[in-house]
Amino acid sequence: MGELDGVRIGVTAERRADDLISALLRYGAQVRHAPTITIVPLAEDPELRRDTEAVLAAPVTFTAVTTGAGFRGWLAAADGWGLKDDLLSVLGASRVFARGPKAVGAVRGAGLREEYSAPNESNAELFSALVAAGVMDARIAVQLHGSALPEFTDQLVGADVLAVQPYRWHSPANTAPVFSLAHDILSAELDALVFTSAPAATNFLTLIADTGALDVLRHGEVSTFCVGPVTAVPLEARGIPTVQPDRQRLGALVKLVVSTLGRA
C-alpha cells in the first residue's frame, strides 16, 4: 500500500512531467496528466536566434541568469547554430548575476563564474542587486524562462536590456485534458493539483476561466501545490491558496505532497 493510495492528483507540467508523474505513482497516487502549455523547440526558435545575435553584437556589462535549465538550453541552442563559443566569450566578460544555486550550477558548468547569487532564489533579490550595482548606460543580457518579467526588467532604468527567452510557450494543440481536469475539480473528483512553472499555472487559469473551477480552487477544496513562490504568483494573484516546499526542487515538492496528503 502506498502513502498516496487513492489520492487523485492533477499534473499540469510538460517539461519533466515524466519524472514528477513517476514519483507520484510510486507512492500510489492516481495521476491525471493535463499539460497546459507546449514549449517551442529551442533549435527551431528564430526569435531566440535573433536575440542571441543581438547579445553578440556588442560587449555586455551584466548577465542575469534566472534559471539553470534556461541558461543551459540557451547555450545548447547557440551550440547548434555555431555561436556557443562566441556567446560564452561575451557573457564571460560580463558581470554575472544568478538567481540561486541551480542558476549558479549552470553558470559554473559552462566555465563561467558568478559575481552574485540571490540567497533566497528570488527574482526580486536578483534584480534589486543589479539595480544596486549601477545599470545606467549598461548593456544587460537577461535570460528569461517561459515568460517576460516586466515587473523586474522595468527596474533596470537607463540600461539597454537584451531579454533572451530560451523557452517560449503556447497553448497545447489538444486542450481536452485540461477541460477534463476542470470537470474533475467541479465534480470533487480531484484531491490536488501540482504546478512546476508559472507559465503552466498562468495558462491553466486562462483556459479554465469560464468553467467555474476557479471558485472551487479559491475555496481550497483542492490542495494546490507549487514548486516555489515564482510558480505560485499567478495562482495566488487570483485568490487561490498554495502550498510550497522549503526548497524549490521537484523531490521536495513530491515529499510535501506525500506528507500533506499521505495516508498512514
pLDDT, tens digit, for every residue of 175-188?
999 999 999 999 99
Q: What class is the 8-39+171-261 domain? A: alpha beta
Q: Report the pLDDT value the prediction gives residue 264, as an integer from 0 to 100.
A: 56
* Interacting residues of 198 by C-beta distance below 8 A, sequence separation 6+: 146, 147, 230, 231, 233, 234
- The pLDDT value given to residue 1: 57
Q: How far apart (Å, rounded) are the C-alpha atoms in residues 117 and 126?
A: 7
Which pLDDT belongs to residue 198?
Answer: 87
Please give the backbone phi and psi of residue 83, each rounded to the nearest 5 degrees, phi first: -115, 0
pLDDT for position 48: 92
Using a cut of 0.75, tell me whether the model's pTM lies above it: no
Low-confidence spans in the chain with pLDDT less than 70? 1, 41, 146, 264
CATH 3.40.50.10090 residue spans of the chain: 8-39+171-261, 42-167
- What is the rounded distance in angstroms from the CA atom of residue 257 to the CA atom of residue 194? 9
**44-58 tens-digit pLDDT:** 788 999 999 999 999
What is the pLDDT, as a whole number, of residue 41?
67
What are the C-alpha distances in Å from 66 to residues 36, 126, 180, 193, 254?
22, 8, 33, 25, 23
Q: What is the rounded CA–CA span in Å between residue 142 and residue 52?
A: 11
Question: CB count, 10 Å around CB of 40?
Answer: 17
Describe the crossing of helices 46-56 and 84-92 by its angle, rounded to 10 degrees: 50
pLDDT of residue 164: 95
Rounded alpha-carbon distances, angstroms, from residue 196 to 53, 61, 153: 30, 32, 23
**CATH code at 42-167:** 3.40.50.10090
